[in-house]
A and B are shown apart, each in its own frame.
Chain A
Amino acid sequence: MQKEGPPLQQLLHRITATPPDFMAEPRIGNKGEVHTVAVVRDLLASKGHVVELASLSALAGRDVKADRNRLSITLLIAWLLADPALTIERERLVDILTLLKDDATRLAGYTNARQLFEDLERREELARLTLSKLGLRPAGETMAQAQDRFTSISSLERARLLAASQEAEARARAIREQLAKKAAEESANKWTRE
C-alpha cells in the first residue's frame, strides 16, 4: 500500500458496471460460457505480461458445483483489474495470480459473485483487496487508514465465515447423529417402500 492508486469510488463504480460477459457462467468441462483461463490470460497480456498456461491451470475448473463460485469471482476480479487506471508491475505478478486463484477461492467460502457485485461492503472489500495486491491504497487515504479499513472489513467477514462454517459442520454432525439414532428404530410409516 506504499503507493496511492485511483479513488475507491472509481473501483466501486467499475464493479457495479461489470458487463454481462463477466457475470456469465464460467466454462467448466463442457458447461458454461466464459473460459476463465482465456479471460485471465488476455487480461495479463493487456497489462504487458505473458504467463505460461500451466500457471493458470487451476482456473480451468473440474467440478461445476465446487468451482463455479470461485471462478465467477475470478472473472469479476479480472474485470476490475482491467481498469485502465490500474497497472500490474512485474514484481506484483505473483500476488495478482494469488488474488485471481487463492483469494478468489477464499472469498468463495463466504460470499459469491452476486454479493460482491450487489453488496456495498463486499464491493469495498473486493476493491481494497485488489488494490492491496497491486501495492496500492485508495487515493486520499493514508497507509494507516487504508490498512485499518481493509483489515476491519475483511476480518469481520472472515470471522463470520469461521462461525458459519463451524456452525454448518456442527449441524451436519448433529443431523448424521440424529439419523443414525433413528436408524435403530426405523422411520415413520409410509404406505409403500422403495
Chain B
Amino acid sequence: MLAQLREHPSAPIYRNQSGHRLLPGEVDRARALEDEAVRATIDWQPNVPPAWVKSFVERCFSASPFYRRYGAMPRSFTELPTMTREDLARDMPYLVPDDIDIDRLINFRTSGTSGHPLLMASHPLVAAQYLGYHKRALRRFGVTLRHGRGQVGVILLGVQSICFTYVSITPTMDDSGLAKINLHPNDWRSLDDRAKYLEAMNPEVLAGDPISFATLLDIDPKLRPAALLSTSMTLMPALRERLEERFGCPVLDLYSMNEAGPIAVLDETAGGHVLLQQRMYVEILDDADRPVAPGQRGEVTLTGGFNFCLPLVRYRTGDHASLERRGDDLVLIGLEGRPPVKYRRHDGRWLNNIEITHALRPMPIVQFSVHQDASAHIRVDYVAASVAPGDVERALRALFGEETSLQVSQVDSFDRKIIQYTSALPGAQA
C-alpha cells in the first residue's frame, strides 16, 4: 500500500514520515475503542454531570500533579476551578498522569490564533481513536466506511508552502492506505498530477479544511468519495453545499481541537453541532465559571475526553455556544470560535458577530475576517474566487446600513489561521 501511494507516476513529493505507532497488542484495543465510540449512547442532561465524571475527577486529583495542586476535591463539581489554554501552554507536562509511560508519548502541536502555541502530550491509541468518532459522525449521514486492504481509506489535504506530508496505513481498517498531501504547487512535478493522483488513489474519505477544499474544487478531480471531513475553521454553508453538489457526498463540518479531538459534528437537521464523545462532559459557562441555563449562550467547557495523557477538568475552550438536549442528541447551537465581538453601526446600535456569520451564509466564502477599528470603520477581508466583493458588501450593508464606514476586500489567502472577528472599539467585547 505504501509503495502504491508513494510510487504512483503522478505522486507528489512526500517529504516526511509518520506511522500509526500502535504496538501489535494495541490494534485490537484500538478496534474495541472504535466500536465503543460508534455505539455508545450519550445520555446525560445539560448541567447534570454524568456518573463517570466523579471517578474521572478523582483520578485526576490523585494521578496528575497539576490537579493535585488544587488541593482537596471540592464538595460539588461546579466548585472545581476552570482551566484555559494558558494553563496548557504553561503546565502541560504536569497534566500527564503519573502512570503514563513517557516513552510512548507522542505530540500534537497547534499554533492556534490565541498567541499560545501548544505542544500536547498524546499517545498512539489516542490518535487511533479519532477514527471511531469520525465513524460515529459519518453514521449520522448514512455513511459506513468500507475501504480496506489494497485501497486508500483517507487522504488528508493541506495547502501550504511548507507542509508535513507522508503515507501510512490504518490498522483497524485492515491496513487501508492513508496519505497526507499538500495541494500547493511546490509539492508536485506537474499541476495536472494533482487530479490524476487523487483519481488514481480514489480515497474513500477526503479530510481537510475550507481552504484545501476550495483548492480541490479548482483542481476538479473526477472523484466520488463517501464523505468529506472538514475541520480547523468555519465551513460556510454555501461552500459546503458546493462541495456536496460537486462530489455527491456529505460534507461533515467537525468541531475538533488538538486538546480534545472531534467533539461534535454539524447536523442542520439537529439544529447545530451534535456531541460525539461518550466520555466528554460539556458545560456552557458564564464569565464567573457558573453554568448557564440550558439554551443560554456561554463558553464551551470540557471535562473528560479520550486523551488519557491529557485529562481535562473544566477546560474553557474559548468557543461559544448554547447546549440543548434534542431527542437522542446533545446539540451545541450557534457554535462560534472565540469570545463574541460586537460591531457598532453608524447609528450607534451594536450587532453581534453571529449576525455577520448569518449574513454571509449564502456565499461560498472560504475564509474571512472582520475588524472594526477605533474610528468605527469596518474592514472585511475574505478568500473566495467566485464571490464578488460587491455581493459581500451588499449583504453587510443590509446589516450595517448604508452610512456605516465599510471596506470589503477580496484576498488570495491569509497567511495562517486567523481570528475571524476583532475590534478596537471600547465596549466591543460582548
Stretch at the interface among B250-258, B383-391, B396-404: B250-258
Chain A interface mostly helix, strand, loop or mixed?
A: helix
Stretch at the interface among B123-131, B268-276, B294-302: B123-131
**In angstroms, how far is the closest chain B Cβ from the Cβ of A188?**
4
With CB as the reference atom, state the residue of chain B lying closest to A70. Answer: B71
Is the pair A187, B93 in contact by a Cβ cutoff of 8 Å? no
Is the pair A179, B121 in contact by a Cβ cutoff of 8 Å? yes
Stretch at the interface among A49-57, A60-68, A88-96: A60-68
With CB as the reference atom, state the residue of chain A lying closest to B260. Answer: A194
Is the pair B102, A178 in contact by a Cβ cutoff of 8 Å? yes
Stretch at the interface among A2-10, A35-43, A151-159, A166-174: A166-174
With CB as the reference atom, state the residue of chain B lying closest to A29. Answer: B288
Is the pair B93, A175 in contact by a Cβ cutoff of 8 Å? yes
Q: A179-B121, A194-B257 are in contact. Are A65 and B102 (CB under 8 A)?
A: no
Q: How many A-B residue pairs have CB under 8 A?
A: 140
Q: Which range contains the number of B residues in contact with the other chain?
A: 35 or more
Is the pair B69, A65 in contact by a Cβ cutoff of 8 Å? yes
Q: CB-defined interface of B47-84 with A at 8 Å, one 1/0 digit per residue?
A: 00000000000000000010001111111000101010
With CB as the reference atom, state the residue of chain A lying closest to B16. Answer: A186
Chain B interface mostly helix, strand, loop or mixed?
A: mixed
A150 vs B103: C-alpha distance in the bound complex, in angstroms?
Answer: 41
Is the pair B256, A66 in contact by a Cβ cutoff of 8 Å? no
Chain A residues whose CB sits within 8 angstroms of the CB of B168 once the complex forms: 189
Stretch at the interface among B107-115, B370-378, B420-428: B107-115
Stretch at the interface among B5-13, B18-26, B346-354: B18-26
Is the pair B170, A168 in contact by a Cβ cutoff of 8 Å? no
With CB as the reference atom, state the residue of chain B lying closest to A173. Answer: B93
Chain A residues whose CB sits within 8 angstroms of the CB of B262 once the complex forms: 192
A179 vs B103: C-alpha distance in the bound complex, in angstroms?
Answer: 10
Q: Does B105 contact A (CB under 8 A)?
A: yes
Q: Does B409 contact A (CB under 8 A)?
A: no
With CB as the reference atom, state the residue of chain A lying closest to B262. Answer: A192
Is the pair A191, B256 in contact by a Cβ cutoff of 8 Å? no
Chain A residues whose CB sits within 8 angstroms of the CB of B79 once the complex forms: 25, 31-32
Q: Which of B71, B98, B110, B205 contacts A194 (CB 8 A)?
A: B110
Is the pair B127, A190 in contact by a Cβ cutoff of 8 Å? yes
Q: Does A176 contact B (CB under 8 A)?
A: yes
With CB as the reference atom, state the residue of chain B lying closest to A183. Answer: B107
Is the pair A191, B207 in contact by a Cβ cutoff of 8 Å? yes
Q: Does B36 contact A (CB under 8 A)?
A: no
With CB as the reference atom, state the residue of chain A lying closest to B66. Answer: A65
A115 vs B156: C-alpha distance in the bound complex, in angstroms?
Answer: 50
Q: Which of A70, A178, A194 contacts B231 (CB 8 A)?
A: A194
Q: CB-defined interface of B174-197 with A at 8 Å, one 1/0 digit per residue?
A: 000010100000000000000000
Q: Does B308 contact A (CB under 8 A)?
A: no
Chain B residues whose CB sits within 8 angstroms of the CB of A68 once the complex forms: 70-71, 81
Q: Which range contains the number of A residues in contact with the other chain?
A: 35 or more
Is the pair B231, A193 in contact by a Cβ cutoff of 8 Å? yes
Is the pair A186, B164 in contact by a Cβ cutoff of 8 Å? yes
Q: Does A182 contact B (CB under 8 A)?
A: yes
A180 vs B105: C-alpha distance in the bound complex, in angstroms?
Answer: 11
**In angstroms, how far is the closest chain A Cβ from the Cβ of B12?**
17
Is the pair A188, B21 in contact by a Cβ cutoff of 8 Å? yes
Chain B residues whose CB sits within 8 angstroms of the CB of A186 once the complex forms: 16, 18, 164, 166
Q: Does B355 contact A (CB under 8 A)?
A: no
A68 vs B105: C-alpha distance in the bound complex, in angstroms?
Answer: 31
Q: Does B35 contact A (CB under 8 A)?
A: no
Is the pair B106, A182 in contact by a Cβ cutoff of 8 Å? yes
Stretch at the interface among A77-85, A106-114, A123-131, A136-144: A106-114
Is the pair B71, A113 in contact by a Cβ cutoff of 8 Å? yes
Is the pair B71, A191 in contact by a Cβ cutoff of 8 Å? no
Q: A171-B93, A178-B105 are in contact. Are A189 and B20 (CB under 8 A)?
A: yes
Is the pair A187, B102 in contact by a Cβ cutoff of 8 Å? no
Is the pair A194, B93 in contact by a Cβ cutoff of 8 Å? no
Chain B residues whose CB sits within 8 angstroms of the CB of A30 once the complex forms: 288
Is the pair B72, A187 in contact by a Cβ cutoff of 8 Å? no
A48 vs B380: C-alpha distance in the bound complex, in angstroms?
Answer: 66
Is the pair B229, A192 in contact by a Cβ cutoff of 8 Å? yes
Is the pair B134, A192 in contact by a Cβ cutoff of 8 Å? yes
Q: Does A132 contact B (CB under 8 A)?
A: no
Q: A114-B72, A179-B107, A179-B119 are in contact. Are A191 and B81 (CB under 8 A)?
A: no
Q: A64-B81, A68-B81, A175-B102 are in contact. Are A188 and B69 (CB under 8 A)?
A: no
A69 vs B168: C-alpha distance in the bound complex, in angstroms?
Answer: 47
Which residue among A72, A182, A188 has the maximum number of chain B CB atoms within 10 Å of its CB?
A188
Is the pair B164, A194 in contact by a Cβ cutoff of 8 Å? no
Q: CB-defined interface of B82-105 with A at 8 Å, one 1/0 digit per residue?
A: 010001000011101010001101
Which residues from chain A sit less than 8 Å from chain B, CB to CB? 23-25, 30-32, 64-66, 68-70, 72-73, 108, 112-115, 168, 171-176, 178-180, 182-183, 185-194
Complex A-B: 25 CB contacts under 8 Å:
A25-B79, A30-B288, A31-B81, A65-B83, A69-B70, A70-B71, A114-B73, A115-B72, A176-B93, A179-B106, A182-B106, A183-B107, A185-B16, A186-B16, A187-B108, A187-B122, A188-B20, A188-B21, A189-B18, A190-B130, A191-B205, A192-B254, A193-B231, A194-B108, A194-B110
The 6 closest A-B pairs by CB, nearest first: A69-B71, A114-B72, A172-B93, A188-B127, A112-B71, A175-B93
